[in-house]
Amino acid sequence: MELFRKLKRMTEPKETVFVGNLFFDVTAEDVQRRMEKFGVVQQVYIVRDNRGISKGFGYVQFDTVEAAARAVQGMHLKVFEGRRATVEFAQNNVNVHMGIRSPSRTLYLGNVPFDVTDKDLGELFEGIANVVDVRIAIDRRTGLAKGFAHADFLDVESAKIGLELLRQRRPHGRRLRVDFSHSSRLGSPAEKK
């Protein structure tokens, strides 16, 4: 317990705050609306499990440390959407928690339905330009899908547009986790632009 208290004290003020003890139906928009009274909110990230369901906590990144400090002071242990919220300075800024990678021509798609078919993939990528290749990860022992895929695009700009479009799609009602990836059959972005 003493070690936990020491670690907690070592967290230095930064632009990002941790927000915990949230009901699972609280959205990023709900959090942003409340946090905007403390300063300019740059982004809100609610942590979700592999099914896309909230884990009851997230991160809010403000434009200044002062705004984050006001949020910690004004919100910690205050009732928010029916629960007492835990609001503290985060260990890292929000981009570290989101796992945001630098743009590339390859996208990682997580939370892909295990029973996805070629027809489903066609519908998923309908209207998305410059897709060169889509690979569903398959377990070599069982021959079953692993629940993720990679999609290669012709160029980085096409991948950026594809990322935004794919984040809005819900194959079989599942919310995809989409990010840039650097595992590509086309080589690294530096090799081919």
Indicate the number of domains in the chain: 2
Mean pLDDT on 132-153: 88
Burial 177-191 (b: 16+ CB within 10 A, else e): bbebbeebeeeebee
Q: How far is CA 148 from the centre of its chain?
A: 15
**Predicted structure pTM score:** 0.50
Residue-number span of the structural domain to which 27 is assigned? 2-98
Same domain, 89 and 110: no
Other Cβ atoms within 10 Å of 139 Cβ, number: 10
| pLDDT, tens digit (0-9, with 9 covering 90-100), for 110-137 | 888 888 888 888 899 999 999 999 998 8
Nearest by Cα to 178 from 161, 191, 155: 161
Query: For all residues of the chain together, what is the average pLDDT?
Result: 82
Q: Are residues 82 and 148 in the same domain?
A: no
Residues 65 and 118 both lie in one domain: no
Condensed to tens digits (0 to 9), the pLDDT of residues 13-67 reads 889 999 999 998 898 889 999 999 999 988 888 887 766 678 899 999 898 999 9
Q: Are residues 83 and 126 in the same domain?
A: no
Residues 92 and 121 in one domain: no
Residue 8 lies in a domain: yes
Domain boundary among 37, 68, 98: 98
Query: Are 146 and 164 within one domain?
Result: yes
